[in-house]
Amino acid sequence: MHKVEPKVFLVGETKIVKEGLNGFLKHVGVPKWKSDASTDLEKIIEVMGRLCYRSFEPGLNKNVKKVREHNKDYLENIKKVKHGSVIEHPVLNFIFTDVSRVFTHELVRHRAGTAISQESLRFVRLDDLGQWLPTVIYEDEKAVEIFVKTFKHLEKLQLELAEYFKLDDEAMPFHKKKVITSAMRRIAPIGLATTIGWSANPRTLRWVLEMRTDPNAEEEIRLVFGKVLRAFFFCASLLAEWSVKMNIAKYIDHTLLKPDATRGQIVKLCHEAKDYGFASVCVNPVWIPKCVVELKDLGQKTDVKVCSVVGFPLGASWRNIKADEARQAFLQGADEIDMVMNVGMLKSGDLLEVKLDIQSVRLAVSRAILKVIIETCLLTLEEKILACKIAQDACADFVKTSTGFSTGGATVEDVKLMRKTVGPKMGVKASGGIQDYAMAMAMINAGATRLGCSAGIAIVEGSKK
């Protein structure tokens, strides 16, 4: 038995056949037509839409006197007039690995506009079961013990049956192996890790993303489709943006870190977070217990997490003090910790101390989400890259741009650099100065998977326009 983490691979997408498209355009009478679409997915949607109205240029259809010249404007109009059928032409191909059969049972309910190919346990023999643990189990030592014990026992039974039926005997015919292997899967756990291929058109993908990234969706499928959304951004940012608009709140840490914040303001922050479905509330440590009461202890179902800060806002505390602060925050009920890196040590070249500083907090709160604030406005380009790599090596979950209390906040260029440095799996949080929907989308397009801001409500309301 081994532990796994669900993974998402975008393995294919629709590509334009240039010769065929050029031949069609010549046939229609517009051989010089060009599109400024950034991807073939968005270009093929535009082509299919324009052929419906023969609107490649004014006058081609005598009823059309003017046309939208830019792909973005054209696609936005398709969305506005709800001409959704043309969005079904392109296809994206994903492979999901190390996902459970719980996940695949939910995924296959989405049939329209998809194609599915799943690893077959009728053929594939089980000899090393992979296991991913949901948070409610992972955070409970006794539950983890029961899960691991059960998986190991079921794995042992698979091995014993394989030996009993002599499945490794060279004389055993394949058709008989298939029959026996198929029978043996009936005592395999539904939580075992498997692989499934899933292809969908963007119209279907948008609606699956809306449902499966909702805070009320099951944890594993929510995790997987969060990764799908990030992959979607890399190949079709405009189409992905439509999906984010449906639920941008889940990107937002609703933040109030002002020193003069009052109890009443903290209560209001929590109620807003529940009403809008934000990812978390981010508050100073003294307010953690109040947030726990408002978000977790009043009997109302909510997935809003409690996030707090450590070594804030300077990051210049002793590392044992930061570790103790993080430990107390976690014991008080914080789900996520945003710690400030020791910026002075980084700029002094003491990289080991910077790593030990982060590791001390990581060890103190091994079950909490850990974000490392690198304070980009104070760093050179080389220092930003170093800071990201050190945070990643120290097993942090996110790198974060800014405290919002220094000389500058998040920039698109910094988020792009951070994403490029840490790769696709680590979280990137943009924070500081994100005031409206356009700025929020710019950060997400650049690679941010979380946004820290006090203007969360304005951002969500802006997404509805």
Does 141 lie in the same domain as 79?
A: no
Q: How many CB atoms lie within 10 A of CB 387?
A: 26
User: Of 198, 215, 241, which marks where a domain is finished?
Assistant: 241
Mean pLDDT by 10 residues, the chain (465 residues): 92 94 95 92 93 92 89 86 88 96 94 94 92 85 94 96 94 93 94 96 87 79 84 67 70 96 96 93 98 81 90 96 97 96 97 96 93 98 97 96 96 95 90 93 89 94 74
Does 157 lie in the same domain as 11?
A: no
pLDDT at 209: 85
CATH of the domain at 58: 3.30.1360.170
pLDDT at 298: 63
CATH of the domain at 439: 3.20.20.70
Torsions phi, psi for 270 (to 5 deg): -65, -40
Does 207 lie in the same domain as 135?
A: no
**Alpha helices, DSSP H, located in 165-258:** 174-184, 202-212, 219-235, 237-246
Please state the length of the chain: 465
Range of the domain at 355: 248-463
User: Of 208, 241, 274, which marks where a domain is finished?
Assistant: 241
Q: How many CB atoms lie within 10 A of CB 94?
A: 21
pLDDT at 161: 96
Does 294 lie in the same domain as 325?
A: yes
pLDDT at 80: 80
pLDDT at 176: 94
Does 58 lie in the same domain as 149?
A: no
**In sequence order, what are the residues at sequence separation of 6 or more whose Cβ sits closer than 8 angstroms to the Cβ of residue 171?**
none
Q: CA nearest 286: which of 268, 305, 304, 260?
A: 260
Handedness of CA 442, 447, 449, 451 (dihedral sign): negative
Instruction: Let me know: does 431 contact 452? Beta carbons within 8 Å.
Output: yes
pLDDT at 54: 92
Q: Which residues are catalytic?
A: 338, 400, 429
**In sequence order, what are the residues at sequence separation of 6 or more whose Cβ sits closer than 8 angstroms to the Cβ of residue 217?**
211, 225
- H or E element at residue 275: helix 263-276
Does 160 lie in the same domain as 92?
A: no
**In sequence order, what are the residues at sequence separation of 6 or more whose Cβ sits closer than 8 angstroms to the Cβ of residue 117?**
196, 197
pLDDT at 195: 97
Does 449 lie in the same domain as 335?
A: yes
Does 221 lie in the same domain as 158?
A: no
Does 161 lie in the same domain as 256?
A: no
Considering its fold, how many domains does the chain have in total? 3
User: Of 241, 268, 293, which marks where a domain is finished?
Assistant: 241
Q: CA nearest 234: which of 9, 7, 46?
A: 9
Q: What is the DSSP string of 19-87?
A: HHHHHHHHHHT-TT-----SSHHHHHHHHHHHHHHT-SSTTSSTT------SHHHHHHHHHHHT-GGGG
Does 211 lie in the same domain as 140?
A: no
Q: How many CA atoms lie within 13 A of 425 on its CB side?
A: 8
Instruction: Let me know: does 32 contact 160? Beta carbons within 8 Å.
Output: no
Does 35 lie in the same domain as 45?
A: yes
pLDDT at 215: 62
- Beta-sheet strand order (sheet of 114-118): 7-13, 92-100, 193-200, 114-118
Does 229 lie in the same domain as 207?
A: yes
